[in-house]
Amino acid sequence: MTVFNEPKLVDFKSSPPHLQFNKYVLTGYRPVSTCKECLRSLFYMHNEFGNIYTHGITFMCLLVLLPLHLPWAEVDAWWMCTVHYLACLSPTVGSVLYHVFMNHEGGARVYHALLSCDMFGVWLINTLGALPIVHITLLCQPPPRRRVAMLTYLLFSCHGVHSAMTARSSGLRLRSFTWQVLFRAFLFLLRWIGCGTGSPGSLHLYLTMDLLALLGGLVNISRVPERFSPGRFDYWLNSHQIMHVIVALSILYLHWGMLEDLAWLRVYQCPRE
């Protein structure tokens, strides 16, 4: 058995400047590390340990369990199952990579590349996760209208990914997804007033999904609860960990809403004119 000594953790002031983004987390920072040392940090306690495992465990559960519940063999459902599966996995993959290797010896250059990877995962769930919703909501509309809606959403998504990858604060990164959220809100309004199609049971699930995602972002920006007691939440229950848990719940609500819609799609027929 190979035994390694845990490195000495450092405090906020001793961390590299690019890791000093939460002044209320005072201790438990990993020292600058090689790739191998970053991976070793999976096995000892530090202030990113909870962030790694909240999304790492979520990723493993989604990877194994989601395919068992999706109707891959249904006619016209395979592409929706595929993009939905990738959408649910993407934010957890980027998050885990970011938190494991953020203290890499490559410094700020590597850190910002990892942060971009993390934000790209968030963008993917916003983009891929919505495409089946657009298709199902406009199922009975003429095909050109559905294609225009898809293209419009993808254009909003392109704007969102550029803004998210270039933003320099968590608040600006959250705002990057505004147009995508507004477009989804328009689709949900169409369903609510009866101008769109979809399972009656999925609308409240999708609304909960977006509200949870917004709540998670706001918690992360607010630095609550650690701002009220700096140092007390360095290892557990700080705002970023809480956000991770809320995001995992948001993914589940997206999945439950999609299952409702796919079951509805199996039996629904658009009315003939």
Contact assessment for residue 146 and residue 138, using Cβ atoms and an 8 Å cutoff: yes
**Would you say 204 is a known binding-site residue?**
no
DSSP 8-state class, residue 273: -
**Would you say 240 is a known binding-site residue?**
yes
Largest Cα–Cα distance in the chain? 73
Contact assessment for residue 176 and residue 122, using Cβ atoms and an 8 Å cutoff: no
- Sort 188 into a burial class: Cβ within 10 Å, 0-12 / 13-18 / 19+: buried
Question: Residue 105, SS3?
Answer: coil
For residues 66 and 89, give the distance between their C-alpha atoms in angstroms, rounded to a whole number: 10
Distances (CA, A) of 148 to 82, 125, 142, 158: 22, 21, 10, 15
Contact assessment for residue 157 and residue 177, using Cβ atoms and an 8 Å cutoff: no
Closest CA to 175 of 126, 236, 105: 126
**Would you say 84 is a known binding-site residue?**
no
Backbone angles phi, psi at 99, to 5 degrees: -75, -30
Binding-site positions for Zn(2+) read: 99, 240, 244
What residues are designated binding site? 99, 240, 244
